[in-house]
Structure 1
Amino acid sequence: MHSNSRRPALGLLFTLVLWAFAALPLLAQNSYYFPKTKNFDPKIPTPEQFLGYGIGERQTRYDRVVAYLQELDRVSDKVRIETIGYTYEHRPQVIVTITSPENHGQLEQIRQEHLQLTDPAKAAPALTNMPVLVHLAYNVHGNESSSTEVSLLTAYYLAANQDPETQRYLKESVVFIEPAQNPDGRDRHTNWVSMHQGNPAVSDPADREHNEVWPGGRGNHYWFDLNRDWLPLAHVESRNRMEFYHKWLPNVFIDFHEMGTNSTYYFEPSKPYSSENRLIPRSTYDGLNVLMARYHAEALDELGSLYFTKEQYDNIYPGYGSTYPDFQGGVGITFEQASSRGNKQEHSLGVLTFAFTIRNHLTTGLATVKAAVENRETLLRHQREFYESALADGRRNGVRAYIYGENYDATRLRKFTELLLAHRIEVYELEKSQRINGQQFEKGKAYVVPTEQPQYRLVESIFAKTKEFDDSVFYDASTWTLALAYNLPHAGLKAKGALGKRITELAPLTPNVPAQSHYAYLLDWADYNAAGALYLLQDKGVITQTIFKPFTASTSSGPKAYQPGTITIPVASQQISSDSLYKVITEVAQLKQISFESVKTGLSLNGIDLGSNNIQTLRKPEALLLTGQGITSYEAGEVWFLLDEQLHMPISKVDLASFPRLSLRRYNTIVLVSGMYNSLDKASVEKLKRWVTDGGTLITFKSAAEWAIKQGLAQGKAIPAQDTASNAARIDFADARPTEGAKSVGGSIYEVDLDTSHPLGFGFTNRKLPVYRNSTTILAPAKNPYSTVAQYTNEPWLSGYVSKANLNKIKNSAALLVSDQGQGRVILFSDNPNFRGTWYGTNRLFFNALFFGSVIKTPGTAVATEH
């Protein structure tokens, strides 16, 4: 966290400015926000005239934000509003385009010429009259609310200001205003503040207004951080925005944020080299970032507002809103304003008002438009050169192409390919089957991505593994190799060879709907969509089973080998007729885009038969997720999102404080993500123990796994994160942050060995599995030799930063354990298998825990020997 300098004179000035604004009447707002501008068009309503209160006096609901922007569209020929999609809570995502009336008349031509500029395969258009594109994106974190208010003032200023300077801006630029990147989270925060706003406003930091209840308004509907979702595109808001972004490819993108109340103001450049991505040309950082910073500094200097640069925040991860534009030839910039988290709050320099935070963001936003116009040709030329240099860098790369494929899971392969296409990455069909580094890539089940392409830098980010860094302290993740996240076999090619047809969109899957059977149906568990299909079957009352041993069946499509995890659906055992069952099978196959097979006999060609004791009946998961204060909201949201989005399976979200009064009878599965569970008293822990012993499945992540072991809910041992040494060497205070930061595991990727014969490993076709780790929870392998389902290898490090000490602890430790307790079991993940809704490789482990947990009986335990 940045340390504020205490300067008495500036502090007094700051306090006087805030006090002066508090005394301003409603009609004086323009003189506060726009002190130098007098020539406003009276036909354009101010935000306060439309809303009925002054900007900064209260939080504005999102529907009123949209309504005002629609009014500007109605009354001004400079403003157009469009809806690019809808959030999960069905709020419209809107973009306002502001430019001169003449530019509005030829927007499509402007767009096409700009796309031509970014395409190295086409001749560059003349830059003389080409407008620069500026995208101002507000409020990606819902409780960083000042910037949405800024969007109203900015739109008003550009639409109503009649000064020659502003007319020039509108002629030479197209400005996109995105009032809230996270409308759902914003309204959650807005409602909270509005509920608790006092009159007069309360500045006490302890007041309820400034302290939202869990999970707060930062995340979207599923409590995700959308500022991490630009690369994985897990959420609908991000996918809608990405489509618009690539429609225009703006030259400047500003991502407006807030930070701690006792900070000042931050803008880029970020920390040189250590906080920058090596794939981005130095001209972005040393040129454009520094150039833009001069305008931002000048604007804030004029206000007397304090600020800092080159500290704390980074530009490494392509999934940030301020970093992704750098990968598209633009300049992405983060603005961070100290937050009042309400209408006013005491801080180290006095009292910070909502209006003051709004004014700072407003000032730097307008300075951005000025900077973009005054350096229009520089920005346009940079974008052209960026894509040309991408081709050159791709040619110089020792890897000429990446090949990836999946022979058993068409769904996971499809999802990854759709992601690449959403980023406008060139993807080609594999011309012919080939074997590379011991991996077989089949034509029709594999693709090739050349590195010599305009999106080279994103390609390298998605496929390449990174172990070298300029710094050992990271604001967030240190790696984001999505090919590993999807657990897809892939390899780099020294020569790209002959390419097949370029893929621009994927044809619909054609699932196999089998002939009707009066004996049984089979569902291969290797396909990612099998879990969603299984839940849908169970939800419709279909009895389902899973196999523990492989077999070969004579199916309606011919002989087919099946591995452990395969779902069997016996016809005669159902409570519905065979005709009704067949109708359900057909519906599920079409809905989940997954193939079934039918068999006429239980006698297998090889392996076990369909009446074997190695086949177990499954129970439908009835799951509970503990939430609330102390629980990691991101991880809780990831569980909720995953079950909603992929399985369409409901999960009961119950506050931790309600657990002592909660009956557990209806649940057979409970999920504990990372968090603090010490608020559960002894009686609650005993209740949870009894529930597990009676047959429940408790699934724990990271620190929750450590807590379960400590409470005696599970057998195991957690390895301490820090070594204790009595003779620790002295370290200078100034070196504390880099020294301590290097000890954390901030986000890196490792390899584990997975027991694919275990129910938790069902459906995996390779024992080697990449996992993501961002904590220091390290578990020792179980004493029972059958209970360590996944174990880190002796050389596990695949990508990202890790200290030598942490790596030595991670080696050969347990990634996934099962601890049998009476009739039940506790499943312990040392990591988070559902990280950011992106890890399709490991979230299947979580699916297995949900569906197969009830049939796990570990050999060597008392329960197992009784059967």
Structure 2
Amino acid sequence: MQNKLKSTFNQGVLLLLGVLITGLHGLSAQTIPTPKEHFGFGMGDDYHISNYTQTEAYFKKLTELSDKAKLVSIGKTEEGREQWMIIVTSPENHKQLDRFKEISVKMARAEELTEQEARDLAEEGRAVVWIDGGLHSTETVGIHQLTETLYQILTREDKENQRILDNVITLFVHANPDGHEKIGDWYMRKSVPEERSLSGLPVLYQKYIGHDNNRDFYIQNMKESANLGYQLFVEWIPQVMYNHHQRGPAGSVLAGPPYRDPFNYVFDPMMVTGIDAVGAAMYNRLNAENKPGFTRMDGSSFSTWYNGGLRTTTHYHNMIGILTEIIGGPNPEAIPLVPDRLIPDSNTPFPVTPQEDWRFQQSIDYSVSMNYAVLDYAARNRDHLLYNIYVMGKASIDRGSKDYWTPFPKKVEAIKTAYESTQKEGQRSSNMRWGIPSVFYDSIYQAPEKRDPRGFIIPSDQKDFATAVKYVNALIKTGIRIEKAKSSFSVGGKTYPKDSYVVKTDQAFRPHIIDMFEPQDYPNDFQYPGGPPIRPYDAAGWTLAYQMDVKFDRILEGFDGPFETLAYGVLEKLPESTIKASKSGYLISSVHNDAFSIVNELLKKGVKVARLTEASAGMPAGSFYIPSDGQSVLSSFGQQYGLPIVAASSVPQSLAYIKPSKIALYDNYGGSMPSGWVRWILEQYNFDFQLIFAKEIDQGNLNSKYDAILFISGGIPSFESSGGGFRGIDEADVPNEYKHMVGAVSKDKSIPQLKKFLENGGKIVTVGSAAVLAHHLELPVKNALVEIQRDGSEKSLAGEQYYVPGSVLKTKINTNLAATYGLSDYADVLFNNNPVFKFKPEAKLQGLEILSWFDTAAPLKSGWAWGEAYLEDGITGFSAPVGKGTLIVYTPEITYRAQSHGTFKLLFNQLYKN
């Protein structure tokens, strides 16, 4: 009996051990796989990169196996993929995630918090840090460092990692799934690893705009931008965000914070010094790990002036926005010898030596180290980060609640000018070095009329209110508090109607508000006094309200009214139009951009549409007339836009019925970003079109297929070059479905076919640099930006004389022509060193007509225009008959990044035929 019990006991022990072993084996089977185990290669292995499908599967696996990670969809991409964010923190923090998110948002908005409440929340909360990857898909380090960092933070068990998990909520965000899939598949298509290359992708890696997806964040036209923006500016509002990019400047490994001047004058100083603090943690860590080659400040071209980038828009929201640009990729490369970078200085304290064999893994290792530097800084300073973003927000609220003067360079120049006018010759500069009387500060720098607005009012009775609502929605997407009038009200003696929008500056994100309404004042920035200009990192001026032609009033005093505060992040929509029955038909004003959306759908459905050839019945010339038999289609489709659809009292006398043009939009192999933006615009406004490439142009017979061909800021070879050819990839290596894209517009083949197209009755519209077509066609126009030499010859202006990087300028519009229907006497245009013309004496005889021009020596409205007086009388738009057809030329960027709604009609008016 005892032996039997003993035997039974032993069997039980063995059974229990078996169960434990099985359980342990089960736990082992649930161990998080390394990237190499999942992908078949490591995240820094040479000649290997992942695609989105593989990475999405890994993200799902990580979050299934770890209680430290949560997978969240932030929306769909332009191509319909799911865009993921992984939230990583300790399991204990995950249980209170909603509370920590609430604290993060409360601290950032700084509304109705006492000092003690803010300090208590800073103590209770967790730092929130954003780390993204893959925005620019050809910059392959970005997404691979993100994947590697995720694996490490979920599996490492050291004290630093635990400190990060305990004190930080990290938002790991995939910034561009569509591009990741395209680039990954394209690169890995070759079976021989050494033959793989990132170059030659046939299309843009973001459906419409490729690399310009990092220029979309203050308007958020693209779905991916809106997804990312909602998390950044509404849902989480992290204290720190880290945006990974490539490439580092030659002779370095990477460029990072702090950044070169100028920084934007609307920033809170703590945001700027916060970047310094996080930057110090990053390069100190690299130095401690013997990782040289970090350059900063004047060691690179990156500044904090521009708004609109994924990183830079956060600066206007008091977030510590970090950008690094690193070298490296799946193909080994060299670090070239740049002698001036070999000596340590404040820009590059620890230079890297030239190397012939820099590997992908090294770049991944650098990036992971920098991620940990940022996260460790946040973990050690979580309460400071939370409290500091509150302090910045509170300071913005205070500035918007009282008289405040933003320190713009023009004000300083005004002080100098005023002081110098009181001094004798020879004393001016020497006296100024030792200080000048404060009366010049009081009377000029802080002149009452020069103070910042307390708020802005966007009247609901402006001509194109629907576009104004689009502008308001851009503000809402970026987390701005908007108020709306429930009834009419008066401010400063002016009455505003119900539904007008009010944007007060007494809120945390005041820097962004000022930046969207007020002109940018870029400083005169030269390599040395009298020397060439230093190019801004991107645009120098962009004021969105100007670009969209939104009418608003600046209010300098505090004000209130019957306002309701809109919910954060919830977009506005106009109420549907009401249409009264009319036997005489209907009218829609030509001032409305959305009128084109309605008209295009009506034309597709066979409804007749005409344009008024002269003003009639209170409607401006160019307004659209729809006969009464189109009422049912108009009602079912047109009402949704919320435009005034007016019942005509009688059929107008002066009508020209229109038909849709067969439109071709020029593009090239690899994709054109300016063309891509217009592709998106045309789709939004319901225009049908086809893409056209150089090969098709060269084949001729264009009039049988198209009525209008559009060339947007590129595509036409410069007048000095021969053009033609195709560079970047062997055509034999191009897949068959893309071979029709290969090639470029050339002088010898393409230009003659384009001329024939015009002569046979076609229309060509050129924008920006594509205006060079006018020279190829030998039209009687010449470059306006020249100086006359002693021998009577003309010489292009040097940069020391004239320089206008991307800025907003005011141009005069000839409103007497069908080409400019719907526009006012002046338009604000985005101008970026674009061509400017003058007519030769024979131009008028040949029928050329001016559409727009600079009628002043000071057209600058926002940004930087050095030597702008040279622009006076320069032509920015004209039409020219060529045979039976017409060439339309616009030299400014009238479709700039799908932001310049105020000049869209200059294009749209060209896209119909009679």
Same fold (TM over 0.5): yes
CA contact (8 A) 1:402 1:490 kept: yes
Return the offset for 1:683: 4.2
User: How far off its partner does 1:343 sit?
Assistant: 2.8
Q: Is residue 59 of structure 2 the alignment partner of residue 69 of structure 1?
A: yes
Supply the AA of the counterpart residue of 1:148: I
Question: In the alignment, does 2:235 pair up with 1:247?
Answer: yes
Cα distance in 1 between the residues matched to 2:658 and 2:57: 51
Shift of 1:195: 2.3
| Residue in 1 that maps onto 2:677 | 638
Residue 452 of structure 2 corresponds to residue 410 of structure 1: no
Cα distance in 2 for partners of 1:335, 1:673 equals 31
Q: 2:308 aligns with which of 309, 319, 322?
A: 319
Other-structure match for 1:385: 391
Aligned residue pairs, count: 761
Aligned to 2:909: 848
| Residue pairs, 1:427-442, within 5 angstroms | 427-429=482-484, 432=488, 442=496
Q: Is the 8 A contact 1:188 1:216 kept in 2?
A: no
**Structure ID, larger Rg:** 2
2:819 maps to a residue whose letter is L
Distance 1:99 1:743, change over 3 A: farther
Partner of 1:351: 357
State the match for 1:566 in structure 2: 623
Matched, 1:338 2:327: yes
Residue 297 of structure 1 is matched in structure 2 by 284
- The Cα of 1:290 is off from its aligned counterpart by 3.5
Deviation at 1:291, TM superposition (A): 4.3
Look up the match of 2:101.
Answer: 111
Matches within 5 A, 1:785-864: 787-805=849-867, 807-851=868-912, 854=913
Find the counterpart in structure 1 of residue 507 from structure 2.
Answer: 453
Distance 2:369 2:199 in 1: 28
Give 1:330 shift. Answer: 2.1
Relative to 1, partners in 2 of residues 1:78 and 1:754: Cα closer, same or farther, differing over 3 Å? same
Are 1:682 and 2:759 counterparts?
no
Residue pair 1:625, 1:672 contacting (<8 A) in 2 also: yes
TM-score by length of 1: 0.82
Residue in structure 2 matching 1:666, options 705, 727, 740: 705
Offset, 1:649: 2.3
Alpha-carbon distance, 1:635 to partner: 0.9
Q: Counterpart of 1:489?
A: 551
Check the 8 A contact 1:629/1:656 in 2, yes or no.
no
Deviations 1:66-114 (A, max 9, x none): 1101101101100101100011111111100000000001100111122
Structure-1 residue corresponding to 2:604:
539
Q: Secondary structure at the match of 2:131?
A: strand
User: What are structure 2's unaligned runs of at least 5 residues?
Assistant: 1-27, 337-354, 405-450, 527-533, 718-722, 725-745, 793-797
CA distance 1:290–1:512, change in 2 (3 Å): closer
What residue number does 1:736 align with? none
Measured in 1, the distance between the counterparts of 2:852 and 2:676 equals 25
Correspondence for 2:837: 779
Measured in 1, the distance between the counterparts of 2:492 and 2:883 equals 47
Aligned partner of 2:112 among 98, 121, 125: 121
Aligned letter for 1:315? Answer: T
CA distance in 2, matches of 1:211, 1:507: 42
Cα separation, partners in 2 of 1:621 and 1:839, compared to 1, 3 Å: same
The equivalent position to 1:582 in structure 2, one of 620, 631, 635, is 631
Aligned to 2:592: 527
Asked if structure 2 preserves the Cα contact closer than 8 Å seen for 1:429 and 1:501, the reply is yes
- Give yes or no for contact 2:694–2:750 (8 Å, CA) kept in 1: no
The Cα shift of 1:595 comes to 4.0
Which of 656, 660, 664 does residue 624 from structure 1 map onto?
664
Displacement of 1:263 in angstroms is: 4.7
In structure 1, what is the Cα distance between the partners aligned to 2:640 and 2:251?
Answer: 51
Question: Matched residue of 1:551: which SS?
Answer: coil
- Deviation of 1:662 (Å): 5.1
Looking at structure 1, the residues matched to 264 and 483 of structure 2 have their Cα atoms a distance apart, in angstroms, of 27
Corresponding residue of 1:226: 213
Distance 1:164 1:280 in 2: 36
Aligned-residue Cα RMSD (Å) equals 2.8
Letter in 2 for 1:391: I
Aligned residues of 2:137 and 2:180 also touching (Cα < 8 A): yes
After TM superposition, the structure 1 = structure 2 runs for residues 489-528 of structure 1, keeping only pairs within 5 Å, are 489-504=551-566, 508-528=573-593
Q: Name 2:375's counterpart in structure 1.
A: 369
Counterpart CA distance in 1 for 2:29 and 2:802 is 58
Alignment correspondent of 1:20: none
What letter is aligned with 1:99?
A: T
**One-letter amino acid of the counterpart of residue 59, structure 1:** I
**1:649 counterpart = 2:638:** no
Q: Are the equivalent residues in 2 in contact too, given 1:84–1:240 (CA < 8 A)?
A: yes
The 8 Å contact of residues 332 and 358 in structure 2, kept in 1 or not, is answered as yes
Give the structure 2 partner of residue 46 of structure 1.
34
Distance 1:487 1:705 in 2: 24
Secondary structure at 2:197 match in 1: helix
2:413 match: none
CA shift, 1:722, in A, is 8.1
Aligned with 2:297 (options 310, 314, 321)? 310
**Secondary structure in 2 aligned to 1:186?**
helix
Aligned to 1:328: 317
CA contact (8 A) 1:220 1:226 kept: no
1:254 and 1:332 in contact (8 A); partners too: yes
Q: In the alignment, which of 757, 760, 764 is matched to residue 694 of structure 1?
A: 760
Structure 1's 282 and 601: CA in aligned 2 closer, same or farther, altered over 3 A? closer
The gaps in structure 1 that reach 5 residues or longer are 1-39, 203-207, 553-560, 572-577, 603-608, 728-738, 856-867
1:72 maps to amino acid: L
Distance 1:77 1:330 in 2: 28
How far off is 1:257 after superposition? Answer: 0.1
**Is 1:463–2:517 an aligned residue pair?**
yes
- Distance change (3 Å), C-alpha of 1:120 and 1:510: closer
Deviations 1:122-158 (CA, angstroms, capped at 9, x unpaired): 2313433421111101121121111111111111111
Question: Which amino acid is 1:415 matched to?
Answer: K
**Per-residue deviation, residues 264-319 of structure 1 (Å, max 9, x unmatched):** 333433445x2312222333323442343233332255143312111310111122
| C-alpha contact 1:189 1:212 (8 A) present in aligned 2 | no
Q: SS in structure 1 opposite 2:264? A: coil
Alpha-carbon distance in structure 1 between the residues aligned to 2:219 and 2:393: 22
Matches for 1:279-294 after TM superposition, within 5 Å: 279-294=266-281
Q: Is the contact between residue 105 and residue 237 of structure 2 (CA under 8 Å) also seen in structure 1?
A: yes
CA distance in 2, matches of 1:436, 1:693: 57
Q: Deviations over 1:719-774 (max 9, x none)?
A: 346887999xxxxxxxxxxx95995422111111112232122122x312111101
In structure 1, distance between residues paired with 2:524 and 2:281: 26
Cα 1:713/1:104, change in 2 over 3 Å: farther
The question of whether the paired residues in 1 share the 8 Å contact of 2:243 and 2:321 is answered with yes
The 8 Å contact of residues 628 and 657 in structure 1, kept in 2 or not, is answered as no
Q: Is the 8 A contact 2:857 2:872 kept in 1?
A: yes
Question: Which TM-score applies when normalising by structure 2?
Answer: 0.78
Distance in 1 between residues matched to 2:790 and 2:637, nearest whole Å: 59
CA distance in 2, matches of 1:509, 1:491: 21
Cα drift, residue 323 of structure 1: 2.2
Distance 1:295 1:253 in 2: 13
The aligned counterpart of 1:14 is none
3-state DSSP class of the match of 2:316? helix
Deviates more, 1:679-688 or 1:841-850: 679-688
Shift of 1:448: 2.6
Which of 646, 654, 660 is 1:597 aligned to? 646
d(CA) in 2 for partners of 1:422, 1:788: 39
**Bigger mean CA offset, 132-141 vs 670-679:** 670-679
